Structure 1
Amino acid sequence: MSGPGGREREVSWRKQKALQIHAALTSDPVNMQALRGAAVSEGGLLSQEIRRKAWPKLLNVNVFCLPPKPGPGIRYHHRDYNQVQMDVRRSLRRFPAGMRDTERSALQEQLADMILYALHSHPELHYYQGYHDIAVTLLLTAGVRLGTAMLCTLSMHHLRDFMDPTMDSTKHALNYLMPLIQCESAQLCDFLLRSEVGSIFALSWLITWYGHVLSNYQRVLRLYDFFLASHPLMPVYFAAQMVLSRERDVLRCDCDMPSVHQLLSHIPPDLPYEDLIARAQRLFHQHPPSELAWQAALQPRKSISISSFQSLQLSASQQRPDSVLRRQAQAEPPAVLPPARNPLLKLAVWGLSASLGAAALAVTQTALEWGPEVLLRLF
């Protein structure tokens, strides 16, 4: 939209959508269908303030029942400690430009604590390179405590297949890519198969939810809105649409693996992301995973991410709005602390601090307010 009239319509549209999201969040129970629809539709969830309220609902995370702030105590005892530290040190470009070194260092410490807390809490999970790209997006959006809670839930659902001890489940997810392209363009699919490029070019797209390959942070957030509200395989559908959108360029290049891989690995800065999201959504409805697995004769494999998705959606649909959860939290009797000599005292204090921290977060947000930026500094 251009000109004064266009800007006014843009502001009016954003206000209307923000009110619709607010109505979904304050409905009792939360109107998850409307909230998911807002996250998927044009513009996504609009702002960081709204995301801090909506993302936990999309993941069925209760902001009044957060884990304690991750501490350094578990760092040195986890099998993935060294790899996590190396990846976190390499994450400099994921932080806002111009951030002071001291702030960035503090956030990197929190990022490592988040990751190691999630892994320590769920020993069956195995760290993979790229996991930190997802964790840092949650940290920058929601702070360390809420980000940790969302990371734990996400790891047990959407990301679960990537966190097996082998890459078999990840490769199985990538196997959907060529059949999806085949559904839309047999010519392009045939070209890709003859080039023997495979699907490895899309690996980093999938396992980082594009956080590692996109330099525009707002686009990363827009995709996270989309993926958090969608089926675990939606990043593959989006990858298919990214490749399809470049069909002409692909068909013009040499039909060999190095040429095609180099072309597809480089993502142009001007892709029409809203259009690609809409197309990926439409492709999912036209060719759901169950249909593709049959048509493409994909090797049957039990996917924890897919099998647990329906239960996550069901539990999320029963959520109460934050205003109700806040009253429930305030009505709970105060915890009785054990005597100081009891070795469980420290654990109990951590738990109490977690409850108070979550309550403080929610109390500072009225039913008509999206949390102010300063809240990020509280966690």
Structure 2
Amino acid sequence: MSLLRRPPPDGTAPHEYNSKKKRKVAEIYQALNSDPIDVAALRRMAISEGGLLTDEIRCKVWPKLLNVKTDDLPPAPGKELREDNEDYQQVLLDVRRSLRRFPPGPSAAVPTGMPDEQREGLQEELIDIILQVLQRNPQLHYYQGYHDIVVTFLLVVGERLATALVEKLSTHHLRDFMDPTMDNTKHILNYLMPIIDQVNPELHDFMQSAEVGTIFALSWLITWFGHVLADFRHVVRLYDFFLACHPLMPIYFAAVIVLYREQEVLDCECDMASVHHLLSQIPQDLPYETLISRAGDLFVQFPPSELARKAAQQRVERTAASTFKDFELASAQQRPDAVLRQRFRDRLRVEERTKSFLTKPRTNRFVKLAVMGLTVALGAAALAVVKSALEWAPKFELQIFP
């Protein structure tokens, strides 16, 4: 069985959850009010369980994660951009088809739903944001699915701030998707199978035999899962995570979804049509927090520099990963990768202490109880991953830790 298959963690009592939420909110505002702002702490909050919790907090934190200044935002885009814009008709068609990405209208079940005129107004704003970003950055090319990302920012932070955030995102994290061709997008998809191979060779070989390829994950990648997830809460939770991390993190998250569904895949007929159909239908009840945690761990265990050697096309220097140094903040402690690595180091230290505890001479019964306690705390799969990580940790430290 794959190391990535385990049930989601047990639920938390309401009073305990509220207490944890209050503490996290306090930590977020403490980081925001620091001088200078503690971006590393904000990244940790965005990655950790629950993410940034509310849209009000996202309005304050997302600009910090993208290093966008909010005190001098450009004016809201106007309708004049639509004239003679070569992308306008395609953008219009895509936005008109995006009704499901907006809150539903009033109904007997939800009488406070979004009125039709408000939804139509947001669609007009969505068109204007996209056209302004394209007009200001002629090197960028519109692709179908881009609007799924832009609408998420629009719904969370409003038109003016969304325009600034999307422009920064488009010139960094999404840059490869906005090339004239899909060459770099295909290259990023080529990272998917090496990740799966590192964790579960059996699953990798089955998918290779089925010749399923990676196109099933294309819409996941280029929309940051916004197009395929029905619940907006799950979408913004993933955006918290992706904004706090390296631009290639969405492909790691795609890999953990496939790994999580290992048994379903192996139970399929080993042919392209069957496996593609299964994988392209993404489940809506995924254990998101568990998968987010595992994606972060896999990024540290198998960084892009290692996977590039296994990717089918060796053009990593031309992808968003190469522009990431331009995007990093001045302090090394604020870099997204540093936050992930520190998080992983903390897990290793916990495991080392536990390993030392378990190796002391004790009765079998006591050792069994200790193992059971650790399994409850970390999950059997997490324990197995961390134990295996200990074997390569010294070599890994020399390779990528600054």
Decide which of 63, 68, 75 is 1:68's aligned counterpart: 75
Cα distance in 1 for residues equivalent to 2:10 and 2:182: 47
Decide which of 278, 291, 310 is 1:263's aligned counterpart: 278
The equivalent of 2:20 in structure 1 is 13
Cα distance in 2 for residues equivalent to 1:167 and 1:141: 29
* Aligned pairs for 1:273-312 within 5 A: 273-296=288-311, 298-312=313-327
How far the C-alpha of 1:124 sits from its partner, in A, is 0.3
Do the aligned residues in 1 keep the contact of 2:190 with 2:214 (CA within 8 Å)?
yes
Cα distance in 1 for residues equivalent to 2:119 and 2:15: 37
**Structure 2 letter corresponding to 1:71:** G
Change (3 A) 1:248 1:132: same
Do the aligned residues in 1 keep the contact of 2:190 with 2:312 (CA within 8 Å)?
no
Cα distance in 1 for residues equivalent to 2:98 and 2:332: 35
Change (3 A) 1:53 1:247: same
Task: List runs of 5+ in structure 2 lacking aligned partners.
Answer: 1-8, 106-113, 335-402
**Structure 2 letter corresponding to 1:141:** V
1:250 and 2:265 matched: yes
The equivalent of 2:85 in structure 1 is 78
Q: The residue matched to 1:294 in structure 2 has which SS?
A: coil
Do the aligned residues in 2 keep the contact of 1:131 with 1:208 (CA within 8 Å)?
yes
* Aligned pairs for 1:329-348 within 5 A: none
Change (3 A) 1:253 1:152: same
Decide which of 224, 237, 241 is 2:252's aligned counterpart: 237
Task: List runs of 5+ in structure 1 lacking aligned partners.
Answer: 320-379
- 1:1-23 Cα shifts (integer Å, max 9, x gaps): 999x9211111100000111111
Q: The residue matched to 2:228 in structure 1 has which SS?
A: coil
Cα distance in 1 for residues equivalent to 2:312 and 2:277: 29
TM-score (norm 2): 0.77
The equivalent of 1:337 in structure 2 is none
Aligned residues: 318
The equivalent of 1:331 in structure 2 is none
TM-score (norm 1): 0.81
How far the C-alpha of 1:104 sits from its partner, in A, is 0.6
1:178 and 2:193 matched: yes
The equivalent of 1:59 in structure 2 is 66
Change (3 A) 1:230 1:2: closer
Change (3 A) 1:37 1:178: same
Change (3 A) 1:315 1:134: farther
The equivalent of 1:122 in structure 2 is 137
The equivalent of 1:29 in structure 2 is 36
Cα distance in 2 for residues equivalent to 1:316 and 1:62: 17
- 1:169-215 Cα shifts (integer Å, max 9, x gaps): 00000000000000100000000011111000000000000000000
Cα distance in 2 for residues equivalent to 1:232 and 1:268: 24
Do the aligned residues in 2 keep the contact of 1:157 with 1:304 (CA within 8 Å)?
no
- 1:255-302 Cα shifts (integer Å, max 9, x gaps): 001100110011122211100000000000000000111244642343
The equivalent of 1:88 in structure 2 is 95
Do the aligned residues in 1 keep the contact of 2:217 with 2:280 (CA within 8 Å)?
yes
1:103 and 2:134 matched: no
Cα distance in 1 for residues equivalent to 2:212 and 2:71: 48
1:188 and 2:203 matched: yes
**Structure 2 letter corresponding to 1:119:** L
Cα distance in 1 for residues equivalent to 2:279 and 2:289: 20
**Structure 1 letter corresponding to 2:59:** R
Change (3 A) 1:130 1:224: same
Do the aligned residues in 2 keep the contact of 1:32 with 1:316 (CA within 8 Å)?
no
Q: The residue matched to 2:309 in structure 1 has which SS?
A: helix
- Of all paired residues, the percent bearing the same amino acid is 59
Cα distance in 1 for residues equivalent to 2:18 and 2:93: 43
Decide which of 146, 164, 170 is 1:155's aligned counterpart: 170
Cα distance in 1 for residues equivalent to 2:310 and 2:255: 17
How far the C-alpha of 1:313 sits from its partner, in A, is 2.0
How far the C-alpha of 1:311 sits from its partner, in A, is 2.4
Q: The residue matched to 1:224 in structure 2 has which SS?
A: helix
How far the C-alpha of 1:30 sits from its partner, in A, is 1.1
RMSD: 1.8
**Structure 1 letter corresponding to 2:123:** Q
- 1:39-83 Cα shifts (integer Å, max 9, x gaps): 011000000000000001111111111111100011122211110
Q: Higher relative contact order by CA 8 Å / sep ≥ 6: 1 or 2?
A: 1
The equivalent of 2:156 in structure 1 is 141
The equivalent of 1:166 in structure 2 is 181
Change (3 A) 1:252 1:164: same
Cα distance in 1 for residues equivalent to 2:201 and 2:10: 39
How far the C-alpha of 1:310 sits from its partner, in A, is 2.3
How far the C-alpha of 1:316 sits from its partner, in A, is 8.4
* Aligned pairs for 1:346-357 within 5 A: none
Cα distance in 1 for residues equivalent to 2:330 and 2:72: 16
